[in-house]
Structure 1
């Protein structure tokens, strides 16, 4: 599902600068990115030293692994060609601020991929989603990206086949 979600990123150039994975945890998403982009051009960022220690144990030795905050990225404006965040936006205190940061660090023409859960369709799943409160609605994602400055916004539902 990770690869399916990132298809729109056009990871077709080994020299792309990729801010990945914001909220990267153990580096699972990064292992997919480095199949297409040189690890020396990839940065993994997470707030948890414990999670980042797990990422360091993977074959990501060329990647830069840093502790940081998705809502206050330690990169200059117009830094990267691609931005990826998988499975963390639902935990950000201010998703709009984090999405704005993703836009800020991308170069003009850059692409972002935000992978996160969406509010479910079935009544039983919605019941549990309302209890956990970690499932933004599709319109929330679209609005966060629009307000951040993104223009060509696509929402893609991905799930097990």
Structure 2
């Protein structure tokens, strides 16, 4: 019988401002699919309904892996703090402040008050160029308001 080594992920709690500041983009998204490759890297395809900090397409892929991988569930809806990788992909981990949408009340309130609203434009899944130029945040907010539920 072989042995294996398991590593536990321990996250140090941070403020909502810290999670926001560390992220390149923050989204509310529903998971349409989850797949894991041979290297144990998980890719979640996300349908974005709300976005802060950047404008982006409404469909993105987020990668996660290692002992601190975020456990995306298909059809789950989440508030996700994403960071850009050097190769242009978006990544997240457990310790970045992500929450199931139905448990993100304080974070949603904070984002409504302090977050910079972005646009989730319609489009297909993309890799390197998922940020899209769009309307200014001021135009969006004045025209449509912050549409977070």
TM-score range, shorter chain: under 0.3
User: RCO higher in 1 or 2 (8 Å CA, sep ≥ 6)?
Assistant: 2
Under a length normalisation based on structure 2, what TM-score does the superposition of the two structures give?
0.27
Under a length normalisation based on structure 1, what TM-score does the superposition of the two structures give?
0.26
More helix by share: 1
More strand by share: 2
